[in-house]
Amino acid sequence: MDKLRALQYFVAAAEEKSFSGAARRLEVSVPAISKLVNTLEKSLGARLFVRAASGLSLTADGATYLDACLPALDQISAADDSMTNPALRPKGRLVIGAMAQVAQQCLVPALPKFHLSYPYIELDFRVVNRVCELDASAVDLFVLLGWPNLPRLVHKVVAQTRQLTCAAPAYWASNGVPARPSDLARHTCFPFRNSEGTVIDVWRYLRDDVEESVVVRGWLTSNHRDVNLDLVLAGEGVARVSDIFAQAELKSGRLVPVLSEWEMMDSPPVNLFYSGSQRRNPRVKVFIDFVSKLFAGLEAERDKAVNLKMAERPEWYSRRFGHASMARSVRSRK
C-alpha cells in the first residue's frame, strides 16, 4: 500500500465528505479512492468512516486519526514546496481584513501553517468590523461573518455557522432548562450587537415547519462576542454561540447547548470577499484555498447529524434597527 497516497485520499474524503468529491478534487477515479481508503482501514484495524447514502462521516477513530495525520501532511507539503523554484512561488505582501471573532478563534491559530507553506508571503493582518470604501481599496481579501452587501467585490461563502443556545452547567442547574424557545423569555440572556449596530434581541427557532420567536432580555448587551461568552462561562446567563467558534468550550462541557431539537435561525455564514482584479493574484489564490480548507475542516468537526442550509439574510440585517425586535416581521408575529 502506498501509505502517503492513502493518507492523502483519506484526508480529501474527510474534507469533501464523499469519495466522489475527493476523486474530483484529486482528479482520480472513485474506485481508486475507495479501494485505498478501505486498505488503509484494514491496515489500521479500525473504521475511519461511516458510509451512508447522504455521504461520509468520520468515526471517533477517524476523527482522531485525521487530527494526527494533518500536521504530518502539512510538513510534507511544506518540504515539497521548499524544493521548488523560489522564483515561481507566491511572494510579497498580502493584506487581510477579518472580523475579530473569525481572526481570534480560527484564522490566527492556523496562520503558522500557512507561513510554513508560503514563507515568502508577508501577511498584513487587520481586524475590521464593517468594510468601508477605504478598506476595500487597501485590503486584498476580507474574511467576514454575516451578510455584508459588497456588490463590487467577488463573494465566496466558505462555511455556514450553526447557532446554539448555550449556558454553563451551573446556570442550567440553578435556573432550569427551557423546554421550548418561548421559555427563554424568563431567563437572563445576553443579546449581541452586530457590526451594523443592531441588537439581536430576537432569537428565532424552527422545528419541522413550526417557527417560534422569542424576544430576550438581560442586563448586558455587547458588540464583542467574547464579553458575552465570558459572562456565560461564568454562569451569569444564556447566549447565542456559533459552534465552529466555540468547539473547545462545547467539547469540554463548559458550555451546554439546549433546545437541540430546534434549529436556531439567522446563523451567519463565513464569507470571503476580494476584488475581481485579484482573481489571478497568486497570493490571494493560495490564501483563498487555505481559508476554504480551514473552514471545511472546522465544519467537518460538528455533529455529523446536522445538515445545515445556507441562512437567508434576516430582515433586521443592515436596516439600522436599534433592536431586531423592531423589525416589521417580528412585530407582526407578536
Q: What pLDDT, in 10s, does the model give residues 174-212?
A: 999 999 999 999 999 999 988 777 888 999 999 988 999
Show the DSSP H helices in 234-281 as ranges: 247-252
Contact status, residue 169 vs residue 233, Cβ threshold 8 Å: no
CA-CA distance, 31 to 219, in Å (whole number)? 58
3-state secondary structure of 289: helix
Contact status, residue 95 vs residue 140, Cβ threshold 8 Å: yes
Q: Which residues contact 35 (CB under 8 A, 6 or more apart)?
A: none
Q: By mean pLDDT, which of 31-45, 206-220, 270-284 is the weakest?
A: 270-284
User: What is the pairing mode between strands 141-145 and 269-275?
Assistant: antiparallel
pLDDT at position 220? 92
The number of helices, as runs of H, and strands, as runs of E, in the chain is 12, 15
Q: Find cell 468590523 and name the residue.
A: 129
For residues 99-117, give the mean pLDDT.
90
Contact status, residue 48 vs residue 33, Cβ threshold 8 Å: no
pLDDT tens per residue across span 265-321? 988 899 999 887 777 788 999 999 999 999 988 888 776 555 666 667 777 666 665
Q: By mean pLDDT, which of 17-26, 129-138, 220-229 is the weakest?
A: 129-138
For residues 208-227, give the mean pLDDT.
90
Mean pLDDT computed over every residue of the chain: 85
Residue 258 scores a pLDDT above 50? yes
pLDDT at position 41? 92
pLDDT at position 218? 93
For residues 241-260, give the mean pLDDT.
91
Which residue would you say has higher pLDDT here, 233 or 314? Answer: 233
User: What is the pairing mode between strands 121-127 and 153-160?
Assistant: unpaired
For residues 33-58, give the mean pLDDT.
90
Residue 65's alpha-carbon distances to 49, 68, 205, 218, 289, in angstroms, are 11, 5, 35, 43, 23
pLDDT at position 318? 62
Contact status, residue 317 vs residue 198, Cβ threshold 8 Å: yes
